[in-house]
């Protein structure tokens, strides 16, 4: 007996697998057709899936699926992409469809039809086409651009690493490929790891292309999302620029994908439904679509470099800065000397003098410290214990500039304190404390939760806000901006920051990794790295790589104007460290290659990625005993495989989050074997209680 011909399989974003429905139309629906269905008592949007393994249920006993006629079906290549992405990440099909249709309202029509489009999001037939810039390329760029266009003309899957030193014009080079794609009447997707970078790249693209361009990220409105999603899905939008969520939007003519700053961890989605790395999944989408994909970076990930070495990816390299601009000079400052002369200061005398000289020259300075807030720890004077977040027992950080703070001018400028260490002895009441794990804000308590004594509290350590406080003490007339995810969390703040930086209205910017990559500020000539190893210590085997990448990226913000000489000063307490020595020679290509060779040799000898595959199981529950027993049972029942190393379950390094305990399994698989078949076999007969949550992370980038 075969299924009723009017029975269709429908996948929705709200169920892990497809369900059967009766299709009211007499014609057989094409897979990928958008439909309305009733799921668990509510109307939802779904798509017609394939008919494999349909249960033998008469159509008369099924709920109806009503077609949505305004939209073309999902292309077969996109359906293939969803299936392969689900199989690789081991999420559910429903989770992956939800990435493609993040809201059912995207398929609805707006209540009021309008032809006006938001100029901040869509560029439509610019009123002054003569203002559109020509893409000016030097000989090195033109040679690479011609090669990229030649490869793209073959219309087949082509992964390419576009490497180039900071300021070498990688963006303009891949823009030339976008221009070629436009001429072919095809679509281009450009991904950036941060909203700030996406905003900047969108503005640069507006100057080069007269075609429609859209910007997609979490800060745009639902109406804007609907307009962009529909234009992109219908093939009417040729260029889409966005953060990682833009990768999953369906479109019919995708020919070019560009992953800018491909090394960046911002491409990793670790929470929510599907857990994935957008760079790797973008390669998978390009493969399904037979598209050209460009991975662009000044500091490629070791995984990408390994793919080049093994001939999986083609490789082109830009070795010179564009025009007459030169790389900044790099010097090292031993902070152990500063501890003797000024033990409370975080900024050395040489860096202070360089900042003041830039102010006189009306040039900009950037100070980098990869730590948000004023101080990472708040301690009790009575018992010395740190204040913890009640949600997850994570240490609370002191923040002066939270979302509740009104002390910022234009949303970004630092309010000058009376001295460089205003809270050295006591923190005033009602000060905001922030948990960097769950994001919850708390007010300073009137008594210590540990010793229960009415107590005063004091900060320990330092963050960017304390750096700003010290700078303001010796440069009181400077306009100082703090650039972090706390102070630039809203779209209007991002725009104001970029505008003020480009207009030289900010003299000194102090920030975290948010401003370390990809941004172009011509008047910025000094970069000071407050503590080169800060934030890059611990158990993660990628720490050295990330520290090298971050230092290289933030150094590259200096001296991008050919008429202004750039300079970088690296402060450290460990100047004899091999990593610090490598950072001092960060602009020397030979030193870079030595660092890469050294790191890869360590990884290979220890059988670490990219010479193996990792997967992680994160199990969490509010019931500790149940969680522990589940982990023991899972470990006991795990199958054996010669290419698999299964590490026993242990409490995760962050063991308690949002009132849930966390345990972690780590699975290592020798190349060329992937861990997914082992995991599937393992979970096939596993029994996991409903009160225990399991998250599978393939290729984890964080081990917390």
Place of tokens 């202004």: 564
Which are the contacts of 270, defined by CB distance < 8 A and separation ≥ 6?
697, 701, 702
Place of tokens 């003299």: 507
Quote the pLDDT of residue 99: 96
Which are the contacts of 167, defined by CB distance < 8 A and separation ≥ 6?
321, 322, 325, 327, 520, 556, 559, 560
413, HSE (Cβ side, Cα atoms, 13 Å): 15
Instruction: Tell me the C-alpha distance between 412 and 635, whole Å.
Output: 50
Instruction: Tell me the C-alpha distance between 516 and 494, whole Å.
Output: 15
Which are the contacts of 146, defined by CB distance < 8 A and separation ≥ 6?
none
CA 373 remoteness from chain centre: 20
Quote the pLDDT of residue 425: 63
Quote the pLDDT of residue 495: 78
For the chain, report the end-to-end CA distance as a whole number of angstroms: 52
Instruction: Tell me the C-alpha distance between 666 and 689, whole Å.
Output: 20
CB atoms within 10 A of CB 465: 25
Instruction: Tell me the C-alpha distance between 254 and 187, whole Å.
Output: 5
Give yes or no for a contact between 37 and 44, defined as CB atoms under 8 angstroms apart. yes
Quote the pLDDT of residue 6: 76
Give yes or no for a contact between 586 and 555, defined as CB atoms under 8 angstroms apart. yes
From residue 44, alpha-carbon distances to 67, 423, 464 in Å are 12, 54, 46
Give φ, ψ of 452 to 5 degrees.
65, 15
Instruction: Tell me the C-alpha distance between 518 and 540, whole Å.
Output: 25
From residue 524, alpha-carbon distances to 208, 223, 291, 537, 575 in Å are 24, 37, 37, 29, 26
DSSP category for residue 691: T
Instruction: Tell me the C-alpha distance between 107 and 66, whole Å.
Output: 14
Instruction: Tell me the C-alpha distance between 316 and 138, whole Å.
Output: 15
Complete DSSP assignment for 670-689: ETT--SHHHHHHHHHT----
Quote the pLDDT of residue 278: 97
Instruction: Tell me the C-alpha distance between 435 and 555, whole Å.
Output: 29
Residues (pLDDT < 50) of the chain are 1, 114-120, 124-131, 402-409, 415, 418
**SS3 at position 465:** helix
Q: Are β-strands 508-511 and 567-572 bridged in parallel, bridged antiparallel, or unpaired?
A: unpaired
Instruction: Tell me the C-alpha distance between 572 and 574, whole Å.
Output: 5
Which are the contacts of 532, defined by CB distance < 8 A and separation ≥ 6?
547, 551, 570, 571, 572, 580, 583
Tokens at 161, concatenated? 């690493």
Quote the pLDDT of residue 125: 45
What string of H, E and C letters represents the secondary structure of 64-102?
Answer: EEEECCCCCCCCHHHHHHHHHHHHHHCCCHHHHHHHHCC
């Amino acid at each position: 007996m075969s299924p009723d011909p009017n029975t269709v399989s429908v996948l929705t974003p709200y169920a892990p697998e497809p369900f059967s429905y009766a299709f009211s139309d007499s014609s057989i629906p094409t897979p990928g057709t958008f439909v309305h269905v009733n799921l668990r008592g509510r109307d939802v949007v779904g798509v017609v899936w394939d008919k494999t393994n349909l249960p033998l249920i008469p159509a008369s006993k099924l709920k109806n699926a009503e077609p949505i006629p305004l939209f073309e079906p999902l292309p077969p290549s996109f359906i293939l992409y969803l299936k392969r992405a689900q199989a690789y990440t081991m999420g559910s099909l429903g989770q992956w469809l939800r990435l493609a249709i993040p809201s059912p309202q995207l398929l609805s029509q707006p209540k009021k039809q309008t032809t006006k489009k938001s100029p901040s999001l869509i560029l439509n037939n610019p009123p002054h086409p003569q203002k559109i810039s020509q893409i000016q390329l030097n000989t090195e760029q033109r040679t690479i651009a011609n090669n990229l266009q030649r490869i793209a003309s073959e219309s087949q899957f082509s992964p390419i690493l576009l490497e180039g030193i900071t300021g070498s014009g990688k963006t303009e080079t891949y823009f030339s490929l976008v221009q070629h794609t436009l001429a072919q009447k095809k679509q281009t997707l450009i991904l950036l790891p941060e909203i700030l970078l996406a905003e900047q790249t969108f503005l640069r693209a507006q100057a080069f292309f007269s075609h429609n361009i859209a910007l997609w990220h979490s800060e745009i409105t639902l109406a804007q999302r609907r307009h962009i999603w529909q234009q992109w899905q219908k093939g009417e939008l040729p260029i889409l620029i966005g953060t990682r969520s833009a990768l999953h939007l369906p479109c019919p003519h995708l020919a070019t994908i560009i992953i800018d700053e491909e090394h960046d961890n911002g491409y990793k989605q670790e929470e929510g439904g599907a857990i994935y790395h957008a760079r790797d999944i973008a390669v998978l989408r390009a493969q399904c679509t037979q598209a050209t994909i460009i991975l662009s970076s000044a500091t490629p990930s070791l995984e990408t470099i390994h793919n080049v070495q093994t001939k999986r990816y083609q490789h082109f390299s830009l070795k010179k800065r564009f025009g007459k601009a030169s790389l900044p000079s790099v010097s090292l400052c031993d902070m152990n000397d500063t501890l003797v002369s000024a033990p409370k200061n975080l900024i050395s005398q040489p860096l202070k003098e360089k900042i003041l000289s830039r102010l006189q020259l009306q040039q900009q300075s950037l100070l980098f410290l990869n730590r948000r807030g004023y101080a990472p720890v708040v301690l009790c004077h009575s018992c010395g214990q740190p204040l913890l977040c009640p949600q997850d027992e994570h240490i609370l950080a002191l923040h002066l500039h939270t979302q509740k703070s009104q002390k910022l001018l234009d949303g970004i400028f630092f309010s000058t304190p009376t001295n460089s260490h205003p809270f050295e002895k006591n923190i005033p009441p009602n000060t905001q404390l922030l948990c960097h794990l769950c994001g919850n804000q708390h007010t300073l308590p009137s008594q210590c939760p540990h010793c229960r004594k009415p107590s005063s509290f004091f900060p320990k350590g330092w963050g960017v806000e304390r750096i700003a406080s010290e700078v303001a003490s010796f440069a009181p007339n400077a306009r100082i901006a703090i650039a972090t995810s706390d102070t630039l969390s809203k779209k209007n703040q991002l725009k104001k920051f970029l505008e003020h930086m480009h207009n030289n209205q900010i003299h000194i910017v102090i920030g975290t990794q948010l401003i370390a990559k990809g941004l172009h500020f011509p008047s910025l000539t000094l970069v000071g790295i407050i503590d080169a190893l800060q934030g890059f210590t611990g158990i993660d085997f990628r720490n050295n790589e990330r520290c090298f990448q971050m230092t290289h990226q933030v150094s590259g913000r200096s001296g991008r104007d050919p008429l202004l000489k750039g300079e970088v000063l690296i402060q450290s307490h460990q100047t004899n460290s091999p990593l610090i020595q490598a950072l001092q020679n960060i602009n020397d290509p030979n030193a870079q290659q030595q660092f890469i060779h050294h790191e890869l040799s360590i990884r290979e000898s220890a059988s670490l990625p990219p010479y193996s595959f990792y997967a992680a199981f994160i199990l969490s529950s509010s019931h500790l005993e149940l969680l522990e027993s589940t982990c023991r049972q899972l470990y006991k029942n795990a199958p054996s495989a010669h290419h698999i190393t299964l590490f026993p379950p242990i409490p995760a390094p962050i063991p308690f989050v949002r009132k849930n305990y966390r345990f972690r399994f780590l699975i290592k698989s020798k190349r060329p074997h992937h861990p997914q078949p082992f995991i599937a076999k393992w979970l096939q007969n596993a029994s996991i209680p409903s009160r225990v949550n399991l998250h599978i992370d393939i290729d984890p980038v964080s081990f917390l």
